[in-house]
Structure 1
Amino acid sequence: MPIKRKRAYVYILRCADDTLYIGTAKELEKRLATHNSAKGAKYTRARLPVTLTYQEGPMSLTKALRREHQLKQLTRTQKQAVIAGELLVPHRRKR
């Protein structure tokens, strides 16, 4: 019997104040609802409502967490280009 790998998504939210939030979730729709119910991340609670602007996945949880970190290193301009599909940021390979 094959081992079932956990699947996760990386996502970018646009907050009401036009800031961007990047996160990882196993169940994306449920996580978005949690954010908008003011029970999500502390950062988004004060910036409601949030809208999903970008997502990648599904992928393994490990890859999703690495990808989240990678996207967080980008400048705001680069993040907006990723959202618009104008910038392709290759996934880093495991060293």
Structure 2
Amino acid sequence: MAFYAYLLRCNDGTYYAGHTDDLDYRLAQHLQGTLGGYTARRMPVTLVWCDTFIERDQAFWTERKLKGWSRAKKEALIAGDWDMVQALARNRQG
């Protein structure tokens, strides 16, 4: 079984990080607003990034990590700009 960490871009331009074991079903839930909460108030949402993991804990910890990232760092991840992700990580560490 695969597990996923993902980023959604909401209609207001904000990002939402989550994790799941069924990405298609979870995305449908977000798009229909059935989960309530953050994304239901900011629809429509668009899947902009995801990664696959072997264990649920890996996906969960990736979600938690993403929630702490700056907007710029999330956008670098979405763009696949690993040099910028690393530079932004160094800037935050001071």
> Structure 2 length normalisation: TM-score?
0.82
Q: Match for residue 73 of structure 1? A: 68
Structure 1 distance, partners of 2:23, 2:36, is 14
Equivalent residues of 1:24, 1:68 under 8 A apart: yes
Q: Match for residue 3 of structure 1? A: none
Residue aligned with 2:82, SS: coil
Instruction: Rate the CA distance shift 1:41–1:81 in 2: closer, same or farther, 3 A.
Output: farther
Q: Match for residue 10 of structure 1? A: 5
Q: What stretches of structure 2 of length at least 5 have no aligned partner?
A: 87-94
Q: What stretches of structure 1 of length at least 5 have no aligned partner?
A: 1-5, 91-95
Residue aligned with 2:44, SS: coil
Moved over 2 A (4+): 87-90
Equivalent residues of 1:38, 1:45 under 8 A apart: yes
